[in-house]
Amino acid sequence: SVLQSAYSSLLRPTTAVVMKMLNKLIVATPSRSGADKKFTASDIQRLIDKYSRKQRKLRNAHQALLMAIQEWLGELPNDATAAMVGEFVRLMDGVAFVNASHAERLNGLKVHLGSVATREARQLALLRRHDELQRRHDAAAVKHGPQSKQAALVVDEIEENEYNLKLIEQQLARSADSGLREVSFEYLAWFQSALFMLGKRSNAL
């Protein structure tokens, strides 16, 4: 079938495939103006939690719908029609399973974002300290002179903070790259499995 052919073509996802997929997502994502809030990894984690909660409610509603349809099948006078609708219900059940497993995949992304979120928080703290130290230096330079001991001590703190900031930026980049690369391959593997399962169920109709 077409679905099975598509599945077989995705059996060995390469790095190029992953990057192509991510590039398409980036292009399709609308840009945000500078006035808008910038999302962090922690924000993404919270949105995944929100999505998971809504998905659980949707799954319960879906199961209630399937049960109602299955009971209704017994009232249909035509056995052939009842059998056809029964196959349709099984396909709907497969879609519900895919949706539930999709929420689990997103939870996997949430886990991978944990280390990124930690480093983002550390980076933000260092940036705030940089602003604080800069204000202290300016105040010391005005009060005691730019070459004063007081101003020089703050310069030392600024340099140390800048070193730590560069270090955390490198760690953040490595953590994001490795984590997102891994979760992308995991997502592709899940997609292959879901595609194949839905293909089998649709071919059974």
- Give the residue with greater pLDDT, 139 vs 24: 139
pLDDT the model gives residue 57: 87
pLDDT the model gives residue 21: 52
* Half-sphere exposure in the Cβ direction for 80 (13 Å, CA): 0
pLDDT the model gives residue 36: 64
- How confident is the prediction for the chain on average, in pLDDT? 80
Residue 67 pLDDT grade (very low, low, confident, very high; cuts 50, 70, 90): confident
pLDDT the model gives residue 105: 86
pLDDT the model gives residue 18: 46
Question: Which residues touch 3 (CB under 8 Å, ≥6 apart)?
Answer: 195, 196, 198, 199, 202, 203
Tens of pLDDT, residues 144-183: 998 899 999 999 999 999 999 999 999 988 888 888 888 8
**Percentage above 70 pLDDT, the chain:** 80
What is the 8-class DSSP label of residue 55? Answer: H
Residue-range domains of the chain with CATH: 39-204 (1.20.1270.60)
In one letter, which amino acid is 30?
P
Which alpha helices (H) appear in 29-78, and where do they start and end?
A: 41-73
What is the 8-class DSSP label of residue 1? Answer: -
Average pLDDT for 33-55: 82
Please name which of 51, 47, 131, 98 lies closest in space to residue 201, comparing C-alpha atoms: 98
pLDDT the model gives residue 6: 40
Q: How far apart are CA 174 and CA 178, in angstroms?
A: 6
Q: How far apart are CA 185 and CA 159, in angstroms?
A: 40
Residue 46 pLDDT grade (very low, low, confident, very high; cuts 50, 70, 90): very high
